[in-house]
Amino acid sequence: MRKTKKIQMQILQKYFSIRDNVATLMLVYDTFAELVNQNFGGDNIEKLNDKLFSDIYEAVSLLPKQFKLNLQIAIKDFGEYTQSDCEKIIRQNIYLMAYRTIKANHRKSVNGWSLIGVGAVILIVSYFLRKYDLWFDLVNISGTLFVWEGVNMAFLERNLEHKATKKLARAIQNITIEKAAQE
């Protein structure tokens, strides 16, 4: 193993329990209620705030590409929730996160293609203004910027988010919820 890999593994082993290419991380929360966004939805669904998913994203981002993540969520006090309720809520919120990502990707695609269309029209208009040097340059540059931003939005940004979501989905091997030991 190369020296940089050894150093990387030493650092990761301080935060994760590592066996083969599987890292196990324990996230401990005082109450399950601290993960719930009280201001969202009605009584029929509990939406988690970004705290848990932020912790999960951070854990996945620290791991090498080939690693899987076993996530152990320990709750000191479930309060009004049961362990099975918590598992169900987390599963529902993972589906909601996937839906939100798909919707955001679609919106970026539509906006990107709209910018490309506007840029193309502006570039066509600039063709007719080519005898007026200053106006041609200004319109041509603005059309090029519209196309450039559209391509960036429709292809590059969307693909980066898609890759991040796929990496997250591939990395998480198992999520368990348990009662944390009281101190």
Q: How far is CA 111 from the centre of its chain?
A: 20
Q: At what angle do helices 83-128 and 133-151 cross, to 10 degrees?
A: 160
Count of structural domains, the chain: 1
With pLDDT > 70 as the criterion, what percentage of the chain qualifies? 87
Question: What is the pLDDT confidence band of residue 117, given thresholds at 50, 70 and 90?
Answer: very high
Q: Residues 73-103: pLDDT tens digits?
A: 888 988 888 888 888 888 888 778 778 877 8
pTM for this prediction: 0.64
Check residue 10 and give its pLDDT: 84
Enclosing domain of residue 22: 3-179
- Pairwise CA distance, residues 29 & 106, whole Å: 34
CA nearest neighbour of 25 among 171, 182, 181: 171
Answer whether residue 1 shows pLDDT above 60.
no
- Pairwise CA distance, residues 148 & 157, whole Å: 12
